[in-house]
Amino acid sequence: MIKLDLGNVLLKPSQRKQLMSWLRRTLRLGDRVGQFVLTISMKRIGRHFDLRANVHDRAGDFAVHARQQTWRLALRDMVWQLSTRLHDQLRLVRAAH
């Protein structure tokens, strides 16, 4: 499940769709780990976009932060960090069984 808090960032519907498509791999990995909840908050601070993600799943909790000049660059960094961390979480869950 994804909870999205846009704060003071305005996204068009097509941009929301793009955001969800970029998070598709993250969602699949999170579902494989189990009990997956992803909370994303976006803020615009000056000329930069500040994205924070909090993840809760069966293996534990972690947070990810990305800050870039455009929301696409920040989201790309955040998705890469999320997929890497979730892959590690999945390996932890599999090793425990």
Q: What is the pLDDT of residue 26?
A: 93
Q: Could you name the CATH architecture of 2-96? A: 2-Layer Sandwich (3.30)
Mean pLDDT taken over the chain: 94
Give the tens place of pLDDT for each residue, 14-36: 999 999 999 999 999 999 998 99
Residues in CB range of 68: below 8 A, 6 or more apart: 48, 49, 74, 77
> pLDDT category, 96, cuts 50, 70, 90?
confident
**Per-domain residue ranges of the chain:** 2-96
60: its two tokens: 């534990």
Give the global pTM: 0.89
Mean pLDDT of 64-77: 97
Give the tens place of pLDDT for each residue, 40-57: 999 999 999 999 999 999
